[in-house]
Structure 1
Amino acid sequence: MSDFPKTLRLMSRGCDFLGTEYAILCGAMSWVSERNLVSAISNAGGFGVIACGAMTPELLDTEIAATRAMTDKPFGVNLITMHPQLMELIEVCGKHGVGHVVLAGGIPPKGSVEAIKGHGAKVIVFAPTLALAKKLLRSGGDALVIEGMEAGGHIGPVATSVLAQEFLPALKDEHLVFVAGGIGRGEAIAGYLEMGAVGVQLGTRFACATESIAHPDFKKAFFRAGARDAVASVQLDPRLPVIPVRALKNKGTEEFTAKQREVGLLLDQGSVDMAEAQLRIEHFWAGALRRAVIDGDVENGSLMAGQSVGMVKEEEPVAQIIAQLLAESEEALSRR
């Protein structure tokens, strides 16, 4: 008998879709969601997701193979839709028989969903509005993640609780919907499952797990932080297609403001087009995040974190985090 029967009953559709014991996805965090954390989450019964980010096809090929060597459980790959080599990355996923591909960062370009499904994989999409969600699901998306602005990294403008109230009643009967953004405890998981979600996605809660390769100073910054320290970046130029990013405030957030001015000037001069401008912004974040996660430069790097960061107080094994979340969810459902 399961220790979490009520929770798992509500998660059953999500578990069947993912092929996992628990319908708990790890959000794709560049430089953090790599072979060690991804395999640990999958081995603990959750669903790890490799953050491809700005990886080349060759690097992704290596990362998938290395992850496969560390787990025989299902895991996915998160691809950024604006990546200039998206179709090549999809081919790499197909070569390795990756079962689930998460498309993030915008509307999937023509042919990308078809290419993924051509390899027999499932497609997980993000959508900021209900109308777009319905369109993406009609166009081949097998499951949807709704992510509120409390999340870390790239965010939309609407809170998770509002998105859940809008999306779940309209989609829960015919579609698979996972909820993300600001989830730090199992009581919240229970609430979203009761509303019709088939599972949840967490990132910040796993960023400082024992198995995470993040630098000790990166983790210490999380342990010190409260919800109010995780702030969203400000868009300076309305022409510049900058998706806000939530991170712990430091000198790096000020550097992003300067980067926007620089790219905006290049747009004025006609030196770059909009696609190139957005790519330069993405490359800025990839570099700034690496400085924080890998090098431990918590002053100048990007400390991407969701508002649930205040609930991250110590380094814990992934299996312990998942067990605690499930126990909290089960207790909440048992009190209903």
Structure 2
Amino acid sequence: MDALTQATAPPPAEALAAIDALMARGAAFFGSRYAIMGGAMSWVSERNLVAALSNAGAFGVIACGAMEPPRLAEEIAATQALTQKPFGVNLITMHPRLEQLVQTCIDHKVGHIVFAGGIPPGSAIKAAKDGGAKVVCFAPALALAKKLVRSGADALVIEGSEAGGHIGPVSLTVLAQEILPHIRDVPVFVAGGIGRGEAILSYLEMGAAGAQLGTRFVCATESIAHPNFKKAFIRGAARDALPTVQLDERFPVIPVRALQNGGTRRFLEHQAETIRRFLAGEVEKGAAQLEIEHFWAGALRRAVIDGDVENGSLMAGQSVGLVTREQPVAEIVQELVTQAAMALAARQG
């Protein structure tokens, strides 16, 4: 069999069945065909992409972000109108109306609530579980993973620093070795830098229940991201997706991985000028910190929705180099599963 025939040939049924078996726990947890979870990306993970993911056999997740409860209720209802399949909602734990958002999910019979952006309060976990929802939490270290399971988390996501957006300091390759051998009570999903099925297979074999992918789905046909935003992803390479740089430890900057553009360059200049004004006594420290933090306010929306890719925020994971064209979600999902099955079949001879 030549290389071209091998690349286009369907994977053997036995290999596909083996992938199904490796994904069985994660798929059962979500109620989906595959244990592939859509990463919640603000402005991108809305009704169209979420429903497309769930309809394709993956598991879509709405990014609530800064939405207020009535707006979230509207998005959930609109997603339910587009799919009969299960999907989840990602809530930011720092949201001032977290409890109301949990109740909104419960009122609309959302089966899975994903808490992100910090350790969720016990009251929020209890409210979600009492309302019949399964709780998913992000675990950045083994000690916290164990604590979250004791607190009632039904599943965990371990996300490496390769991911896009707000990131932790540790790569997925290290987190997986630290956490997967020790957490067996609940399903653990891996995230960060995953763009091909071979990588998903390797983590499944390490004990992961499935994988979360965000960057890979930004350029889905069903994604409402602006054509300029999609073009930036298709052009981008792994080395272009870098974390934000902090100039002075007295003024901490939350690390965010994004494609470099005019905005990222101006952010460095803005930090330098703000620090200069602080040292000159022109601005107090608290006000200077707020000026730095507010630089990116609205920047993600400007890029994703308005298409201002020079001044907006191009949050992207390092797997952006694996995004080469616009494709339907169903095609991407099948590509990932096929890659995993072909890799398994090749290894088995």
- On whether the aligned pair clears a TM of 0.5, the verdict is yes
What letter is aligned with 2:79? T
Are 2:298 and 1:287 equivalent residues in the alignment? Answer: yes
CA distance in 1: counterparts of 2:202 and 2:27, whole angstroms: 18
Change (3 A) 1:312 1:285: same
Larger Rg: 2
- Of 55-64 and 234-243, deviating more is 234-243
SS of residue matched to 1:132: helix
* CA-CA distance at 1:237 after TM superposition: 4.7
Would the aligned equivalents of 1:145 and 1:179 in 2 still touch at CA under 8 Å? yes
- Residues 270/206 of structure 1: CA separation in 2 closer, same or farther (3 Å cut): closer
Task: Specify the code of the residue in structure 2 equivalent to 1:292.
Answer: A
Q: Distance in 2 between matches of 1:284 and 1:35?
A: 28
Match of 1:194 among 199, 205, 210: 205
Superposition pairs for residues 152-231 of structure 1, below 5 Å? 152-171=164-183, 173-231=184-242
* Structure 2 unaligned residues grouped into runs of 5+: 1-12
What CA distance in whole angstroms lies between the structure 2 residues aligned with 1:180 and 1:304?
Answer: 15
DSSP 3-state at the match of 2:345: helix
Q: Does 1:117 align with 2:107?
A: no
Partners of 2:87 and 2:219 lie apart in 1 by 19
1:59 equivalent to 2:71? Answer yes
SS, match of residue 298 in structure 2: helix
| Residue identity in the other structure for 1:201 | Q
The answer for the alignment partner of 1:74 in structure 2 is: 86
**Is contact 2:15–2:345 with CA below 8 Å preserved after alignment?**
no
> Contact 2:122/2:151 (CA < 8 Å) preserved in 1?
no
Q: 1:260 to 1:81 in 2, by over 3 A?
A: farther
Question: Alignment partner of 1:144: what SS?
Answer: strand
Q: Distance in 1 between matches of 2:336 and 2:308?
A: 30
Tell me the distance in 1 between the aligned counterparts of 2:99 and 2:70.
Answer: 13
Could you tell me which amino acid in structure 2 is paired with residue 212 of structure 1? S
Show the 5 A alignment for 1:256-335.
256-257=267-268, 268-270=284-286, 281=293, 285=296, 287-335=298-346
Q: TM-score, normalised by structure 2?
A: 0.89
User: Does residue 44 of the first structure (1) align with residue 56 of the second (2)?
Assistant: yes
Query: 1:274-304: CA deviations, max 9, x gaps?
Result: 9xx69x94x7656111000000000000011
Looking at structure 1, the residues matched to 271 and 77 of structure 2 have their Cα atoms a distance apart, in angstroms, of 36
SS at match of 2:334: helix
Is 1:156–1:243's contact at 8 Å kept on the other side of the alignment? no
Which amino acid in 1 is paired with 2:263? Answer: G
Deviation readout 1:188-233 (Å, 9 max, x if unpaired): 0000000000000000000010000000010011111111000001
Change in Cα spacing, 1:66 to 1:140, as seen in structure 2 (3 Å) is same
Of 241-250 and 61-70, the range deviating more from structure 2? 241-250
**Alpha-carbon distance in 2 for matches of 1:48, 1:81:** 19
AA of the residue aligned to 1:161: T
Q: Which amino acid aligns with 1:83?
A: H
Q: Deviations over 1:19-68 (max 9, x none)?
A: 00000000000000000000000000000000001111111111001001
Number of positions where the alignment pairs a residue of Structure 1 with one of Structure 2: 330
Match of 2:146 in 1: 134
Q: What CA distance in whole angstroms lies between the structure 2 residues aligned with 1:109 and 1:259?
A: 35
Residue aligning to 1:25: 37
From the superposition, tell whether residues 85 and 298 of structure 1 become closer, same or farther in structure 2 (CA, over 3 Å).
same
- Asked whether the equivalents of residues 190 and 210 of structure 2 are also in contact (C-alpha less than 8 Å), the reply is yes
Aligned residue for 1:147? 159
- In the TM superposition, what is the alpha-carbon distance from 1:255 to its structure 2 partner? 4.3
Quick one: which amino acid aligns to residue 88 of structure 2?
Answer: G
What's the secondary structure of 1:234's corresponding residue? coil
Specify every segment of 5 or more residues in structure 1 that has no aligned partner in the other structure, as ranges. none
Change (3 A) 1:67 1:184: same
Contact 1:54 1:286 in 2 (8 A): no
Counterpart in the other structure of 1:85: 97
8 Å Cα contact 2:52-2:329 kept in structure 1: yes
1:252 maps to 263
Distance 2:181 2:319 in 1: 25
C-alpha contact 2:50 2:60 (8 A) present in aligned 1: yes
Equivalent position amino acid for 2:56 in 1 = A
Q: Secondary structure at the match of 2:58?
A: coil
